[in-house]
């Protein structure tokens, strides 16, 4: 299927590895001009080289930006616009929050969690929307988690703050749908990245099980019997970014191998 993404401009933050890099790679393979970012200059440069190697697309640009810092986000938006012009597609991704139970998390952890998981999305969206409104075309795609449907033990920040992101996406769909912009979310389950390994280590520490056992235990809940890949999330994001998905607006789409059992 031709997605018609050639020449579109895309911003994918938190993309030096994992899901963000997977999405950026698929968008670059589809011919988008892509800006990627992360906190570490070396990692994001490596990621850019990897995208170039895998896709042959030379129009991939990297910037350093910590998504918990307002001025970094403002600078990222400015630099991205200078490089690729207005942003057609915001494929919002962010770093993983600190794991922890309610008893373990401090006030400072909560404030950091809100900056990382919610305010970064608000600020990036504010930065890209005016150009989308002017063009009367835009795609907002928010990477969230299955935690929206079912809270995950020891991930209190994710369980709580990401629900606000879902509210934001749905509200944007209503406000900006009439202006040719769609806003949707992706609720991914277990996707094979460093974050999955980090979570398995966390379970191992808490339960005394080995990391391998902890990882296996996670998969016992997944009918597909495996973790998803970052490419699979990337293909979903690319479809949502395309004109073919023009009538999908205000949706939260699961990609979890059948893990969440509820019907709605």
Ligand X SMILES: NC(=O)c1ccc[n+]([C@@H]2O[C@H](COP(=O)([O-])OP(=O)(O)OC[C@H]3O[C@@H](n4cnc5c(N)ncnc54)[C@H](OP(=O)(O)O)[C@@H]3O)[C@@H](O)[C@H]2O)c1
Residue 186 in contact with ligand X, rule: CB under 6 A: no
Q: Give the one residue of 11, 18, 92, 236 binding ligand X; rule: CB under 6 A.
A: 18
Contact between 111 and ligand X by CB under 6 A: the answer reads no
Instruction: Return the number of other C-beta atoms located less than 10 Å from residue 245's C-beta.
Output: 19
Q: Is 98 in the site for ligand X (CB under 6 A)?
A: no
Distance of CA 126 to the CA centre of its chain: 17
The one segment of 26-34, 88-96, 209-217, 236-244 that binds ligand X by CB under 6 A? 88-96
Q: Is 231 exposed, middle or buried (0-12, 13-18, 19+ CB in 10 A)?
A: middle
CB of 73 to ligand X, least distance (A): 9
17 part of the interface to ligand X, by CB under 6 A: yes
Q: Does 169 bind ligand X (CB under 6 A)?
A: no
Q: Can you point out the beta strands (E) in 72-157?
A: 89-92, 138-143
Cβ proximity to ligand X, 15 vs 129, nearer residue: 15
Q: Does 161 bind ligand X (CB under 6 A)?
A: no
How many CB atoms within 10 Å of residue 212?
10
For residue 90, give every residue at least 6 positions away whose Cβ sits within 8 Å of its Cβ, in sequence order, or none.
10, 11, 124, 125, 128, 138, 139, 140, 141
Residue 73 in contact with ligand X, rule: CB under 6 A: no
249 makes contact with ligand X (CB under 6 A): no
> Considering the rule CB under 6 A, would residue 43 count as an interface residue with ligand X?
yes
* Among residues 9, 68, 125, 183, the one that binds ligand X under rule CB under 6 A: 68
- By CB under 6 A, tell whether 116 contacts ligand X: yes
* CA angle centred on 77, ends 241 and 114, rounded to 5°: 85
Which residues contact residue 80 at a Cβ distance below 8 angstroms, ignoring those fewer than 6 apart?
A: 11, 35, 61, 63, 87
127 touches ligand X (CB under 6 A): no
Query: Site residues (CB under 6 A) for ligand X?
Result: 14-20, 38-40, 43, 66-68, 93-96, 116, 143, 145, 188, 190-191, 193-196
């Amino acid at each position: 299927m031709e997605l018609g993404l050639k020449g579109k401009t895309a911003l994918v933050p938190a993309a030096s590895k994992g899901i963000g890099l997977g999405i950026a790679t698929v968008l670059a393979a589809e011919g988008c001009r892509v800006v990627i970012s992360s906190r570490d200059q070396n990692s994001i440069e490596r990621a850019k080289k990897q995208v170039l190697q895998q896709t042959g697309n030379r129009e991939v640009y990297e910037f350093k930006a910590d998504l918990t810092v307002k001025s970094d986000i403002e600078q990222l938006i400015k630099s991205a616009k200078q490089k690729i012009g207005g942003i057609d597609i915001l494929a919002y991704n962010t770093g993983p929050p600190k794991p922890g139970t309610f008893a373990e998390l401090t006030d400072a952890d909560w404030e950091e969690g809100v900056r990382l998981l919610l305010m970064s999305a608000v600020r990036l969206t504010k930065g890209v929307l005016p150009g989308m409104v002017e063009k009367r075309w835009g795609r907002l795609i928010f990477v969230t988690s299955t935690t929206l449907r079912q809270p995950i033990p020891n991930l209190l920040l994710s369980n709580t703050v990401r629900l606000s992101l879902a509210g934001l996406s749905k509200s944007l769909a209503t406000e900006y749908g009439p202006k040719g912009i769609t806003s949707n979310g992706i609720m991914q389950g277990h996707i094979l990245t460093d974050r999955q390994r980090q979570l398995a280590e966390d379970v191992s520490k808490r339960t005394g099980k080995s990391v391998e056992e902890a990882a296996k235990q996670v998969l016992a809940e997944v009918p597909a019997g495996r973790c998803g890949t970052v490419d699979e999330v990337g293909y979903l994001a690319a479809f949502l970014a395309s004109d073919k998905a023009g009538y999908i607006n205000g949706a939260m789409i699961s990609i979890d191998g059948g893990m969440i059992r509820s019907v709605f």
